[in-house]
Structure 1
Amino acid sequence: MASLLERLPFSPAMFYLPIGYAFGPAGSGLINIVPAEHAALLTSVTKIALLLSLFTVGLKLRVPYRDGIWRLPIRLGLLAMLVTIPIIALVGVFLCDLPLGAAILLGAILAPTDPVLASDVQIKDIGDRDRIRFSLTGEGGLNDGTAFPFVMLGLALLGVPSAASFADAFTVPRVIWGIAAGLGTGWTLGWLVGRLVIGLRRRFRIALGMEEFLGIGLIALAYGASELMHGIGFLAVFAAGLAMRRIEATNSGQLSADRVPGEALNRALGQGNEELATHPAKASAYMTETVLDFNQQLENFAEFFMVILTGVLLSHIGFSMMGAWLGVLLFFVIRPLSVAVAMTGARVTSLQRRLMAWFGIKGIGSLYYLVFALQFTWIVPPGYQAEDLAPRISSIVLTVVAMSIVIHGISARPLMEMYQRRRRRQS
């Protein structure tokens, strides 16, 4: 259906969601996954999908770091999140009747954004410097990692022993270290591995081929090394992708990596893949683009699987009216307010600011943090039922994610086409 979907204002995820719902208990009953009982397995599966997504996002961002456009995703990924989580937590306490720990956990789960689920708003090619696309793509790479300390804080307030260190006097230094160690470890390993492979290819014509495994191996290496150093592994994987892209940009200079000939064109020109892989000017571009192409295919499969899974889980646990109200509040009030605060003084037009505010898309990151939290036993204050709390939060989160898939999936293409028309008229 890909060719048909390209001509319609729909995202593929909008079709995957009802298929998953139909497979679940509310439909045919072919698949019955209980979120709490299968939380450990679901955490591993969703983590893999999230890591693939974060690495791919890093590979797409080619703009030099000294460029002021980088301030935009940092504002969205950090400042907007610091506004979003407390507001959702307040809504959770006063409107959803949740204990404080559960309300903070809910805010942290729903704060990350996921532009992958609406491909019309993410970067189209590596040279794309559009402020909306760059900001939303970079935000999705950052806030899936920066949400982790708040998830752990919520779990600590719910009495989870392994999260207790995130609610003591050393929480702030620990979080700062986690962010710095994650970014630093991922960047260093991405740079070292990328430079090593390019050097071996150029000088000795070895370490050729298997770029797909190189990408997967680098993801695992960066995440594992960061976790060993008590860093945030998601940020490490994002930074590893950034480092690999920076090597390409440094070596290629003005040569755009997306202009490197593909395999079919190589054969037509009589130029083999080995020649490109060892070429002094094109070796790094060839490596990076090959890794990116493969990862994008994996990312598409991960999107399909994750949205199907969302539909199955929603079919099991059911829609939440409170989740629907929270979704409306999040999309139309909380997200615009957080973006307005984060973008204060930023060099963006009012239309760009409004579109950034609208496209706070929820997806894989929220699903991962939900099943991650469900692995633990929660201890709630008197007056709350522990056995009812996890299903309530699960239903709220899944309802908001489903709403985002549908609402943002319908609106992404028309709004971005309108934005592009206005840009062309102004230029």
Structure 2
Amino acid sequence: MGALLPAFAVVLLLAVLLSSLANRTILSTAALFLVAGFVLGDGALGLVSLTPADEIVAVLAELALFAVLFSDGMRVGWRDLREAWRLPGRALGWGLPLTLLVTAAGAHYLVGLGWAQALLVGAILAPTDPVFAAALVGNDKVPPRLRQLLNVESGVNDGLALPFVVLFLAIAAGSDDLHLGELGLELALGIVIGVAVPWLAIKLEQTRWFSASTQYEPLNGLAIGLLVLALGKLTHGNLFLAAFAAGITVATFGRRQRESFEHFGELIAELFKLAALLVFGALISFPLLGSVGWRGWLFAVLALFLARPIAIWISFLRSGLTMREQAAVAWFGPKGFASVVYGLLVLGSGIAAAQDVFQVVAVTIILSILLHSSTDIVVARWFDDERDVPAWHGAARRLRDRARGGLAPPTGPE
């Protein structure tokens, strides 16, 4: 475990040096950290030796998920949700639960997991991640409604899936350990902390007695996040729901605080993401990949190519989206970075089926990262009307359109 920090530093430096190339090609920094973790871990070289019982695994998973949910929540204030709710509402209100149920059915009937464990797998694999669709969200050639849909959905569904993960994990732990009253109190307390702390902090800064300097302004969001984390720890409120609620509260009531912290916060969340991916990869081994059997791998393929597409197709019936847009939305799911951390949390939870659930989740996430993070550029080019085409092709198309009455007479030479 002592080699973890130097290993992360070396891989991070390599990722930075290759980041420009990754933005233009199918090379993926997420895949780089996953593969590096596997190669450096017990699955290959054994330089980074980790077990699920190691404290660093649980601590890193907790901090990574907190940072990701806080930054996700900050991307979507209530005003953003109200202004752009029609299409994301379909994806979140119908697509998320349908993806969960279809994935759970596959885990139950194909892999043979009990319904509690299967529903837990569905909840873990339901969220999407904006990192895996970055080329679409940041491409001006992609229709704005599609970019907005992917951006809002990926920013909200981690937090929406969280209560289901917590509930199904408690159910999978056994009826003796399931206390719905305590679980509800933990979730409610997390929401209260997540709303109250940033709201009070923002209102204090808006008084005449307090004002953050330009130099310290980006630290405002960090201080709010740390205070939410500390209070959640002290009161046993749900840390992750508190983080998500805090992010939304900052985005809603503190536009200036949101803008000043946005870039800084994304960098912090990205560091935790990459570190968790390295640890996740180090926990993967050839015996684990083989132990799921052909049914586990078939489930992973079906989760990628059927679960989310079926859910999206049903959710966006008569929505006005083109087939190309629906295909792009359907492809970038159902696994996000939160799935990685949810899987690590389950692995360290101590439930009887923790290893079985983790194995199924792990192979699905591995396929997702390798496929989704390396195809975002390819899918984005579907919408690039300026990509190079033969001159005769453009001329032929214009002649065809004019013949159909679709274009005015040409104003210049063909």
TM bin, normalised by shorter chain, reads 0.7 to 0.9
Distance 1:360 1:109 in 2: 12
Counterparts of residues 13-412 of structure 1 (less than 5 Å)? 13-35=30-52, 37-38=53-54, 41-61=56-76, 64-65=79-80, 67-122=82-137, 130-160=144-174, 164-166=178-180, 186-197=194-205, 199-200=206-207, 203-204=208-209, 206-208=211-213, 209-222=215-228, 233-247=239-253, 249=255, 284=256, 287-315=257-285, 318-319=288-289, 320=292, 321-360=294-333, 362-379=335-352, 389-412=353-376
Q: Per-residue deviation at 1:20?
A: 1.1
Distance 1:56 1:378, change over 3 A: closer
CA distance in 1, matches of 2:73, 2:167: 27
- The AA in structure 2 aligned to 1:359 is F
Structure 1 position 361, deviation (Å): 5.0
Q: Tell me the CA shift for residue 228 of structure 1.
A: 8.0
Q: Which residue of 2 aligns with 1:278?
A: none
User: 1:140 and 1:228 mapped to 2: Cα distance?
Assistant: 30
Q: What is the Cα-based RMSD across aligned positions, in Å?
A: 3.5
Any idea what SS the aligned residue of 2:118 has? helix
Structure 2 CA distance, aligned partners of 1:215 and 1:222?
11
For residue 401 of structure 1, report the CA deviation from its aligned partner. 0.8
Matches of 1:329 and 1:158, distance apart in 2:
24
Query: What TM-score do you get using the length of structure 1 for normalisation?
Result: 0.74
- The amino acid that maps onto 1:218 is I
Give per-residue Cα distances to partners, 1:90-140, cap 9 Å, x unaligned.
Answer: 222221111222212211221222223443244689xx9922232223223
Worse overlay, 339-348 or 107-116: 339-348
State whether residues 10 and 413 of structure 1, in contact with CA within 8 Å, keep that contact through their aligned partners in structure 2.
Answer: no
Cα drift, residue 29 of structure 1: 0.4
How far apart, in 1, do the equivalents of 2:230 and 2:199 lie?
Answer: 16
Q: What 5-or-longer segments of structure 1 have no aligned partner? A: 250-283, 380-388
Indicate if the aligned counterparts of 1:152 and 1:163 stay in contact, CA closer than 8 A.
no
Alpha-carbon distance in structure 1 between the residues aligned to 2:176 and 2:86: 34
* Counterpart in the other structure of 1:255: none
Q: Which deviates more, 18-27 or 145-154?
A: 145-154
Give the structure 2 partner of residue 272 of structure 1: none
Superimposed CA distance per residue, residues 281-307 of structure 1 (whole angstroms, 9 cap, x where no aligned partner): xxx2xx433311111211222232122
Change (3 A) 1:420 1:243: farther
The alignment covers a number of residue pairs equal to 367
Aligned match for 1:418, one of 351, 362, 382: 382
User: What is the rounded CA distance, in whole Å, between the counterparts of 2:310 and 2:328 in structure 1?
Assistant: 13
Give the alignment's TM-score, normalised by structure 2.
Answer: 0.76
Question: Structure 1 residues 292 and 313, CA, compared in 2 at 3 Å: closer, same or farther?
Answer: same
Amino acid at match of 2:224: L
8 Å contact kept, 2:34–2:277: yes
Determine the C-alpha separation between the residues in 1 that align with 2:326 and 2:78: 21
Q: Is the 8 A contact 2:126 2:334 kept in 1?
A: no
- Once the two structures are TM-superposed, the CA of residue 51 in structure 1 deviates from its matched residue by 2.1
* Distance in 2 separating the partners of 1:373 and 1:304: 19
In the TM superposition, what whole-angstrom CA distance separates every residue of 1:341-372 from its partner, at most 9, and x where no partner exists? 33344353332222111111524311222222
Matched to 1:165, the amino acid is H
Q: By how many angstroms is 1:244 displaced?
A: 2.6
Structure 2 unaligned regions, length at least 5 = 1-17, 388-393, 395-414
% identical equivalent positions: 28
Q: 1:242 to 1:378 in 2, by over 3 A?
A: closer
Residues 194, 122 of structure 1: alpha-carbon distance in 2 compared, 3 angstrom cutoff:
farther
